[in-house]
Amino acid sequence: MKKAKQKTRAAAHHHAHMRHAARTDAPLYVVRRSKIHGNGVYAAREIPKGARIVEYLGERISHAQADARYEEKGQDDGHTFLFVVSSKVVIDAGVDGNDARFINHSCDPNCETVIEGGRVFIEAVRDIGKGEELGYEYGLTWESTDDPDELANYACRCGAAKCRGSMLDPVPLDRKRAKQAKRRAAKKKAAPGRKKARK
By the rule CB under 5 A, 103 interacts with Zn ion: no
DSSP state, residue 99 = G
- Report the alpha-carbon distance of residue 49 to residue 105 in Å, rounded: 18
Which one-letter amino acid corresponds to residue 109? P
By the rule CB under 5 A, 36 interacts with Zn ion: no
Closer CB to Zn ion, residue 36 or residue 51?
36
What is the contact mask toward Zn ion in residues 153 to 172, using x (rule: CB under 5 A)?
Answer: ---x-x----x---------
Smallest separation (angstroms) from Zn ion to the CB of 165: 6
Per CB under 5 A, the list member of 54, 107, 124, 134 interacting with Zn ion is 107
Q: How many residues bind Zn ion (CB under 5 A)?
A: 4
- Report the alpha-carbon distance of residue 147 to residue 91 in Å, rounded: 24
Smallest separation (angstroms) from Zn ion to the CB of 171: 17
List the Cα angle 67/158/144 in 5-degree steps. 35
What is the contact mask toward Zn ion in residues 108 to 147, using x (rule: CB under 5 A)?
Answer: ----------------------------------------
Q: Note whether 132 and 110 are within 8 A (CB).
A: yes
SS3 (DSSP) at 155: strand
Q: 123 has which bridge partners?
A: 52, 112
**Which residues make up the interface to Zn ion (CB under 5 A)?**
107, 156, 158, 163
